[in-house]
Amino acid sequence: MSDVLDRFLRYVKVWTTSEEGVEDRYPSTERQKDLLRMLVDELKEMGVEDARMDEYGYVTATVPSNIDGERKVPTLGLIAHVDTSPEVSGKDVKPQVWENYDGKDIVLPGDPSVIIEVSENPHLLDNKGGTIITSDGTTLLGADDKAGVAEIMSAVRALMEDDSIPHGRIRIGFTPDEEVGAGTKYFDVEKFGADIAYTIDGGMIGEVEDETFNAMTATFTVKGINVHPGYAKGKMVNALRIASQVVNMIPETISPEMTEGAVGYLHPHHFNGGVAEAVVKVLIRDFTMEGMGEKVNILENIAELQRTRYPRADIDLDIKESYRNMKFKLDEEPRALEYAMEAVRRAGIEPVRKMIRGGTDGAMLSYRGLPTPNLFAGGMNFHSKREYVPLRSMEKARETILELVKLFAEG
């Protein structure tokens, strides 16, 4: 069994699901530290002496440079997250290894109603005759991002065992809570000490992602007046009704289900409350700040219209920025993208430069001064029981990492 596959199969069996809405502890689930501690032990076994886990669960380690000290080589960072999405169970994952894949639909044995259909996943056919890894259909697989973790760990092993691979100083980082938007909450960029980093957290083989959405979250809070419905005429102000109208007034043409590519969206994703108070949360996403401004204006106009219609209600609209398009920062450090594209080529793959219709830890890190594009890890159908990863994709991701460290050594 290949080293990267062996590691991946072990890692996905460790339950590391993170949890939404946890404010009183970090990481959100203690179980994530089970894998993080395992990684520290494995790094030390490889001879990486400074591997450690800090108070927040971040694992960091250093592969020392083997380049002549007189020549300055940038410090490269390699980052992946250990948690899996809370949208689908990640407990008791039973990975299935499909060798000599026959090119047909894959019926998952734990739940035969869960089928990975070729018609919906044509990329499967690129791996006919190869090896595909799935869950058994009762859980997600966890390739997001344990494929990235396994690929980094396997590359580190190669670097520690083979001194003929030229490389500068390499910093390794494994993080918790990425899936709940808090992967870099306590990440110390200055202490990490990399000049350029890469998150190994992308999808299809060959993809290099250097552009994310800009992201804001809008919260409508509607306060109404609740009285007995039998005596409500002229008295009641139903916050639930007003909030429902807010959702209906958001144009469907700019919803996630109606957009793709470089087109942004408004996405009402949370609704709760009652007559006295109701809350609607709306995700605002666009690749340009001009597009963000247009979408903010739409929401502000909706709020003002509802205030006019319902003067006795208290309607508040609060908009908070989550992150910005990392391209704005990556353009300031062109080596980050150039080296990534060339590393993919040297691994024998045609690179695919891609926008991410979402965000990554790389966006946060880039704005903290650490340019961090995102490289493919190979997994597909993230956050789903139909998640899968081709072994070839993981092997090529590992190879890309090794080519990347050589490129940095070459300068």
> How many beta carbons lie within 10 A of that of residue 314, not counting itself?
14
Q: Which 8-state DSSP code applies to residue 220?
A: E
Q: What percent of the chain has pLDDT above 90?
A: 95
The residue-averaged pLDDT of 221-233 equals: 97
Non-local (6+) Cβ contacts of 354 within 8 A are 202, 207, 208, 209, 211
| Fold of the domain built from segment(s) 214-322 | Alpha-Beta Plaits (3.30.70)
pLDDT tens, residue by residue, 339-373? 999 999 999 999 999 998 887 789 999 999 999 99
What is the band of 387 on the pLDDT scale with cuts at 50, 70, 90?
very high
* Residues forming a β-bridge with 282: 218, 268
The residue-averaged pLDDT of 265-287 equals: 97
What pLDDT does residue 87 have?
A: 93
Q: What percent of the chain has pLDDT above 70?
A: 100
What pLDDT does residue 176 have?
A: 98
Lowest mean pLDDT among 3-17, 64-78, 81-95, 369-383: 64-78
Question: How many Å apart are CA 373 and CA 77, to the nearest integer?
Answer: 11
CATH 3.30.70.360 location in the chain: 214-322
| Rg of the chain, C-alpha, whole Å | 23
Question: How many Å apart are CA 230 and CA 224, to the nearest integer?
Answer: 17
CATH 3.40.630.10 location in the chain: 3-212+325-410
What pLDDT does residue 360 have?
A: 78
The residue-averaged pLDDT of 158-165 equals: 96
- The answer to whether residue 69 scores a pLDDT higher than 80 is no
What is the band of 322 on the pLDDT scale with cuts at 50, 70, 90?
confident
Question: How many Å apart are CA 23 and CA 155, to the nearest integer?
Answer: 35
- Per the CB < 8 A criterion, the answer to whether 401 and 340 are in contact is no
> 294 catalytic, yes or no?
no
What is the band of 181 on the pLDDT scale with cuts at 50, 70, 90?
confident
> 83 catalytic, yes or no?
yes
What pLDDT does residue 68 have?
A: 81
- The answer to whether residue 21 scores a pLDDT higher than 90 is no
The residue-averaged pLDDT of 269-278 equals: 96
Non-local (6+) Cβ contacts of 228 within 8 A are none
Average pLDDT, the chain: 96
- Rounded to the nearest 10 degrees, how much is the dihedral formed by the CA atoms of 173, 178, 184, 189? 20
Among candidate residues 144, 145, 177, 178, the one labeled active-site is 178
- The answer to whether residue 114 scores a pLDDT higher than 80 is yes
CATH superfamily of 3-212+325-410: Zn peptidases (3.40.630.10)
